[in-house]
Structure 1
Amino acid sequence: MKFSPLRLLANTLFFLQMSDASQRVRETNQSVTSDFTLMGLFNHSGPHLTLFSLVAATFTMGLLGNAILIFLIHTDARLHTPMYFLLSQLSLLDVGFPLVTIPKMAADFLEEEGTISFGGCAAQMFFLMLIGVSEGVLLSLMSYDRYIAVCHPLHYPVLMRRQVCLLMVGTSWLSGVLVASIQTSITLHFPYCASRTVDHFFCELPALLKLSCADTSAYELALSISGVLILVLPLALIATSYSHVLGAVLHMHSAEARHKAFTTCSSHITVVGLFYGAAVFMYMVPGTYHTPQQDNVVSLFYSLITPMLNPLIYSLRNREVQMALVRILFRTGFRSKR
């Protein structure tokens, strides 16, 4: 048989392509079938047991506070307004945030095991991103609601009619689903063939990217750019809305009206500061500038502390919510006496 260099070259290229394809299949299969290991937050020493108990108590308080707020808004007719409808959606998101992360972290701590399946990790990442993006968009739309209420009170019933409120809520949820679907699918497309130990207490996108054995630098750059858009655009709307609100409040002649507007708006600004402060640190500051320990603390803050504080901020600083709670307690006590 006559020797042919072209045939030899073709056979060699074919062999290399088949080897590369089989290697990709093995990497993909390994990524899909293998579990991840979460490092967790606590060990079983005395101080860490105390911290774990504190986290469990905070988790319970947060769920209870947001559930009470949702219940009050749903049952009290005086709270059936656009502002409180949007607030009930914020509380619903704040119920979801800790439920995605804390029960799994607590179960791992109690069972002394930190494994999570590939599918579980994907679900955790998807729902966290969905809730986070939805809450960011919703907070910006809530600032627009306050702008209309303070600056255009006569047009408020028309500009914030029920259809507009439903559109706002739908936009926030749809934004979350869209961003979460894209980011999660891209992140989990990378092969994870090295260490599968996540230096975090849940599957968060930046922590997972560090485990990929592929070059993720281009995607991390795109992620930072998209993070700027996702965070800066809502912040720009919030800043614009409240600059107009501040101007209107300063020109109010009634001290009572000024106090009511300031109280309502300052509550929302406080929530915005807590949420966006943590989000900017995690997704706009490059990963080289913060350690895994700092990421754990910040993630615990926005997934647990902020959802627990939100109902307290709105209830303690809002007389209408306080009065609704008093009415419910009075009604309940009166029925029990009868």
Structure 2
Amino acid sequence: MKTGRGVGPTDAAGGPARHLPVMLAEVLAHLAPKDAATYVDGTFGAGGYSRAILAAADCRLLAIDRDPTAIAAGADLVAASNGRLVLAEDRFSSLDVLAETLGFAPLDGVVLDIGVSSMQLDQAERGFSFRRDGPLDMRMGGDGPSAADLVAELEEVELAHIIYTLGEERLSRPIARAIVQARAEAPIVRTGQLADIVARVVRTKPGEMHPATRTFQGLRIAVNGELDELVDALAAAERALRPGGRLVVVTFHSLEDRIVKTFLAHRSKAPSSSRHQPLATGPAPSFRLLAKGMVEAGSEEVSANPRARSAKLRAAERTEAPAHGEDDLSGLRPKQLQRRGRRWS
């Protein structure tokens, strides 16, 4: 994992966050780094997981992040690694292509921490935080339409779809209606503006999560295509891992965990057979589960780092079987919105 990743629901869109890698001991135990092996940290962030992997074994590591500020901040770690660390500014869905191109394939392990970076939350100008007023941006890589573009251009039903489906906000319709009414009076271009609009619809008690948490989550996921990226990254890891290579994924909300759980369950399932069809049909399992169900952070870590309370780890080991095809991945993807030739996740 990386320091500064792993932000749970309370601060997933804008709360205070410390730069602590979540479930680091559990990640290392399941990844089991070894000497002379090659690994990918698909979500580098501030480098917490990368540092730990390099310290655990005399291995080589390819670390990926789509955020250019994270790549720039990792220069010192690269310099101190004696050639064992390579940073790549790219999406983790391309990890198999990058590993092949940069001489890391086949891989002995892949780790993915599917959480927004606390570095991004801490920088008001990035537009992720409802607690820190800044431009309504939310783009991890700085390219493509911003959250302000979605808020300005999408119709009410489309906004409600994103907020409900990706933000899991039950008051999505009145929130979308309030956004449309507000933007008719003045453009919504600041995080503070949007947070105030949502707070007038969603009522919370002291100590509960901020009323804009789920709305900001939905918009952020849509802006960055995060769920599609996760599906593609899981398939890329399946293609890039050697037999015996390990995949470790840490997620922080149900949408992401459901994708990982379903992917690994399908990929580890034996071909079906019956007395009427004694010969098993279907592809052989491409993964073997390393843990039954999910692994959660211990109480001691949760006490020290509240972000860890929502973390879920799932891990599997690559088998000798060929990678499955892409056809069965469509069910893992969220319903898409098409608008003016652009796809909103």
> Would you say same fold, with TM above 0.5?
no
Larger radius of gyration: 1
Q: Which has the bigger relative contact order, CA under 8 A and spacing at least 6?
A: 1
Higher helix share: 1
Q: Which one has the bigger strand percentage?
A: 2
